[in-house]
């Protein structure tokens, strides 16, 4: 399972050509391959050419049931009205017990389906982190190459721990609803720095003003503490269609601002750097395992340390000391000395 | 090492208004480890097939109670063929007379389940179909 070894996966014949000529099914199949086949990712990434301009990825996150899908559909409608082609990736949780998933976000997006400029894809999170499937960022790249200009990425309903992990979005919107006030108490500095926009949805329900008030208070105190970039604050009722103009204007304003200030590019740079580091460490790990003949020693050591205590680092230093990077870039493990 | 899981579209075409039954079926498929895209009520054959393409679904399951089953299944099958997903399984349920079942079967539509069928038989049927299409 080495992500840098090629020639382990071959695309089905004709699929890439179909994709390039705008085939919707081909686009869908590429996304499935990324989800299902461990070696497809690098093969497809190698082929995706940069597109001038390119898509803006809008992350939509927030607790379960706050109206992420309904809002996404409403904002997608705005985007279509502005002549953008729109991709939507909607993630729902995978059952840890059965591996199955109930993907229900499309129910709220029904009004979009007649429009050929929209591509909606549901995804089960499987073992992805941060409320997403690990294939979601790649699916966004595919939809970008397919010609979408605005790509909405809806996370599953996330808890506190995951709210700040979504790095694949250019712009991140956090959706809350009245009654999620308790959540605010624990929205610490992390989310203030990562969310670009907070949308209080369901303003038709009681308690919206209180929620807005406490958010304002939170940001004012964060501002006083010298934190830059407090998120913008908007409110809307997605079902009644109120406040959506403001939300859309705020989103587009953020996109323009971040393009001009270079923040958008910086986010992408950071994202790519993260991807490169992860891929290299993953690849080196696979090679280490292959050359060391498996992970049995590691398992034994962990087992012993958990019983007897002690530091794993003498072992780690010894193993890392055995890895030599030689000229052709391949790490080599000299044979283990008898102890 | 493929992590392929069966992806199933569940939809209810037509205008009749309750979705409890389809949701129960959807849950059973999730319990069986499938990824179920639930489309909800009032779907048209066009919207169903469009979703099946974008989701790259293996199976489309329709719940038809309105008596319009013949037209709905026929039209969905036709659109599936046009979209290049004619080889995927189209199945479903409702109160469907045996004669109509035969007619739909002749069009290449899979087994149709009635109110008396066990949920497990739907799960088993989909799994057997999946096993049968693999080389
Ligand atoms: N009253 C009210 N209800 C809303 C509003 N927006 C969405 N809802 C309802 O809230 C429920 C959940 O909406 P979704 O859009 O599915 O919420 P979600 O955040 O995507 O849910 P998950 O994906 O399951 O986490 C639905 O019953 C919507 O009709 C709103 O502005 N006001
Ligand atoms: Mg949703």
**ipTM of the complex model:** 0.95
Statement to judge: residues A34 and A181 lie in one domain? no
Task: For residue B134, tell me if it sits in a domain.
Answer: no
Query: Is B75 exposed, middle or buried, given 0-12, 13-18 or 19+ CB atoms closer than 10 A?
Result: middle
A261 compared with A336, residue with greater pLDDT: A261
pLDDT value of residue A162: 65
CB atoms closer than 10 angstroms to residue A296: 9
Q: What CATH number did the domain enclosing B88 receive?
A: 3.40.50.280
Q: Is the CB of A84 under 6 A from ligand 1?
A: no
pLDDT value of residue A37: 92
Statement to judge: residues A114 and A251 lie in one domain? yes
Is pLDDT at B29 greater than 50 in this prediction? yes
The residue whose C-alpha atom lies closest to atom 13 belonging to ligand 1 is A67
Tens-place pLDDT, residues A123-164 = 999 988 778 888 999 999 999 999 999 999 999 987 666 665
Residues 6+ apart with CB under 8 A from A13: none
Q: Is some CB atom of chain A closer than 8 A to the CB atom of B102?
A: no
Statement to judge: residues A236 and A107 lie in one domain? yes
Tens-place pLDDT, residues B60-108 = 999 987 677 888 899 999 999 999 999 999 999 888 888 888 888 888 8
Do residues A134 and A167 touch, judged by C-beta distance below 8 A? no
Structure token pair of residue A328: 């052709």
Mutation target among A2, A102, A127, A148 for the B interface, most CBs of B within 10 A: A102
Statement to judge: residues A240 and A110 lie in one domain? yes
Residue-wise burial string across A55-71, b where 16 or more C-beta atoms lie within 10 A, e elsewhere: bbbbbbbbbeebbbbbb
Is pLDDT at A7 greater than 70 in this prediction? no
Distance from CA of residue A61 to its chain's centroid? 10
pLDDT value of residue A1: 43
Statement to judge: residues A176 and A229 lie in one domain? yes
Statement to judge: residues A118 and A246 lie in one domain? yes
Which chain residues have CB less than 5 Å from ligand 2, an ion?
A 68-69, 105
Statement to judge: residues A68 and A169 lie in one domain? yes
Interface contact flag, B38 A104, Cβ < 8 Å:
yes
CB-based contacts of B77-81 (< 8 A; 24+ apart in sequence): B77/B107, B77/B108, B77/B109, B79/B45, B79/B46, B79/B48, B79/B49, B80/B49, B80/B52
> How many domains is chain B partitioned into structurally?
1
Q: Is the CB of A26 under 6 A from ligand 1?
A: no
Statement to judge: residues A116 and A18 lie in one domain? no
Do residues B42 and B92 touch, judged by C-beta distance below 8 A? no
For B49-57, what is the mean pLDDT? 98
Is pLDDT at A237 greater than 80 in this prediction? yes
In this structure, of A143-152, A162-171, A289-298, the range with the lowest mean pLDDT score is A162-171
For A43-59, what is the mean pLDDT? 87
Is pLDDT at B20 greater than 60 in this prediction? yes
How far CA B115 is from CA of A325, B91, B98, in Å, comes to 66, 14, 14
Mean pLDDT of chain A: 87
For A179-190, what is the mean pLDDT? 62
Task: For residue A278, tell me if it sits in a domain.
Answer: yes
Statement to judge: residues A319 and A182 lie in one domain? no
For B10-26, what is the mean pLDDT? 84
The residue whose C-alpha atom lies closest to atom 2 belonging to ligand 1 is A202
Q: Is the CB of A35 under 6 A from ligand 1?
A: no
Task: For residue B132, tell me if it sits in a domain.
Answer: no
Task: For residue B1, tell me if it sits in a domain.
Answer: no
pLDDT value of residue A153: 96
Statement to judge: residues A46 and A57 lie in one domain? no
Partner residue opposite B38 with nearest CB, options A1, A37, A103: A103
Distance from CA of residue A173 to its chain's centroid? 13
**R_g over Cα of chain B:** 14
Statement to judge: residues A13 and A69 lie in one domain? no
Do residues A31 and A135 touch, judged by C-beta distance below 8 A? yes
Categorize the per-residue pLDDT at A336 as very low, low, confident or very high, splitting at 50, 70 and 90.
low
CB atoms closer than 10 angstroms to residue A252: 17
Statement to judge: residues A12 and A38 lie in one domain? yes
Q: Is the CB of A70 under 6 A from ligand 1?
A: yes
Is pLDDT at A78 greater than 90 in this prediction? yes
Q: Residue A35 and residue A41: Cα distance in Å, rounded? A: 9
Closest to A37 in 3D by CA, of A68, A8, A77: A8
**Residue A58 belongs to domain spanning:** 52-261
Is pLDDT at A266 greater than 70 in this prediction? yes
CB atoms closer than 10 angstroms to residue B71: 14
Interface contact flag, B37 A106, Cβ < 8 Å:
yes
User: What are residue A235's DSSP bridge partners?
Assistant: A200
For B18-40, what is the mean pLDDT? 92
Q: Is the CB of A305 under 6 A from ligand 1?
A: no
Closest chain A CA to residue B3? A36
In this structure, of A128-137, A328-337, B45-54, B56-65, the range with the lowest mean pLDDT score is A328-337
CA angle A302, A306, A312 (to 5 degrees): 50
pLDDT value of residue A326: 66
Distance from CA of residue A115 to its chain's centroid? 25
Closest to A231 in 3D by CA, of A259, A245, A212: A212
Alpha-helical regions (H) of chain B: 20-31, 45-55, 69-83, 98-106, 119-133
Structure token pair of residue B84: 């290049």
Provide the residue count of chain B. Answer: 135
Categorize the per-residue pLDDT at A193 as very low, low, confident or very high, splitting at 50, 70 and 90.
low
Tens-place pLDDT, residues A318-329 = 998 887 766 665
pLDDT value of residue B77: 96
**Residue B89 belongs to domain spanning:** 7-127
pLDDT value of residue A2: 47
Please identify among residues 69-98 of chain B the ones whose CB lies closer than 8 Å to any CB of chain A: 83-85
Q: Please give the order of strands across the beta sheet that includes A56-61.
A: A118-124, A86-92, A150-154, A56-61, A171-176, A197-200, A232-235
Q: What is the pTM of this model?
A: 0.90
Contacts of A122 in chain B (CB under 8 A): 37, 55
Distance from CA of residue A147 to its chain's centroid? 19
Is pLDDT at A231 greater than 60 in this prediction? yes
A315 compared with A131, residue with greater pLDDT: A315
> How many domains is chain A partitioned into structurally?
3
For A10-32, what is the mean pLDDT? 96
Closest to A146 in 3D by CA, of A60, A56, A85, A84: A85
pLDDT value of residue A189: 53
């Amino acid at each position: 399972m080495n992500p840098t070894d090629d020639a382990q996966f071959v695309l089905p014949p004709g699929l890439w050509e179909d994709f390039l000529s705008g085939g919707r099914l081909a686009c869908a199949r590429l996304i499935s391959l990324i989800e299902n086949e461990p070696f497809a990712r690098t093969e497809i990434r190698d082929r995706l050419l940069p597109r001038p301009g390119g898509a803006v990825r809008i992350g939509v996150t927030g607790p379960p049931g706050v109206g992420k899908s309904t809002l996404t559909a409403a904002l997608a409608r705005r985007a279509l009205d502005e002549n953008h082609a729109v991709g939507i990736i909607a993630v729902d949780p995978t059952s840890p017990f059965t591996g199955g998933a109930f993907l229900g976000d499309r129910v709220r997006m029904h009004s979009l389906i007649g429009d050929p400029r929209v591509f909606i894809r549901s995804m089960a999170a499987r073992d992805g982190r941060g409320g997403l499937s690990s294939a979601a960022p790649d699916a966004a790249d595919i939809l970008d190459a397919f010609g979408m200009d605005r790509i909405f990425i809806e996370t599953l309903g996330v808890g506190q721990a995951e709210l700040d992990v979504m790095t694949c979005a250019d712009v991140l919107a956090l959706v809350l609803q009245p009654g999620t006030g308790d959540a605010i108490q624990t929205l610490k500095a992390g989310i203030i720095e990562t969310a670009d926009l907070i949308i209080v949805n369901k303003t038709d329900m009681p308690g919206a003003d209180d929620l807005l008030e406490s958010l304002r208070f939170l940001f004012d105190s964060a501002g006083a503490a010298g934190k830059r970039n407090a998120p913008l604050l908007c409110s809307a009722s997605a079902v009644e269609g109120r406040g959506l103009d403001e939300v859309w204007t705020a989103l587009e304003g953020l996109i323009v601002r971040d393009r001009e200030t270079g923040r958008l590019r910086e986010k992408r740079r950071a994202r790519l750097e993260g991807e490169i580091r992860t891929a290299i460490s993953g690849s080196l790990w696979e090679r280490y395992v292959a050359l060391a003949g498996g992970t049995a020693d590691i398992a034994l050591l962990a087992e012993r340390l958990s019983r007897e205590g002690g530091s794993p680092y003498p072992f780690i230093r010894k193993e890392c000391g055995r890895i030599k990077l030689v000229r052709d870039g391949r790490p080599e493990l000299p044979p283990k000395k008898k102890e | 090492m493929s992590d392929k899981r069966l992806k199933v579209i569940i939809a209810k075409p037509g205008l009749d208004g309750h979705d409890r039954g389809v949701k129960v079926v959807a849950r059973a498929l999730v319990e069986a480890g499938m990824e179920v895209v639930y489309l909800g009520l009032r779907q048209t054959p066009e919207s169903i097939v469009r979703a099946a393409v974008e989701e790259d679904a293996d199976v489309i399951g329709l719940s038809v109670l309105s008596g319009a089953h013949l037209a709905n299944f026929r039209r969905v099958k036709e659109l599936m063929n046009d979209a290049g997903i004619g080889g995927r399984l189209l199945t479903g349920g409702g109160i469907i007379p045996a004669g109509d079942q035969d007619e739909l079967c002749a069009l290449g539509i899979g087994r149709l389940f009635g109110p008396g069928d066990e949920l497990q038989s739907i799960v088993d049927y989909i799994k057997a179909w999946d096993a049968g299409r693999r080389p």
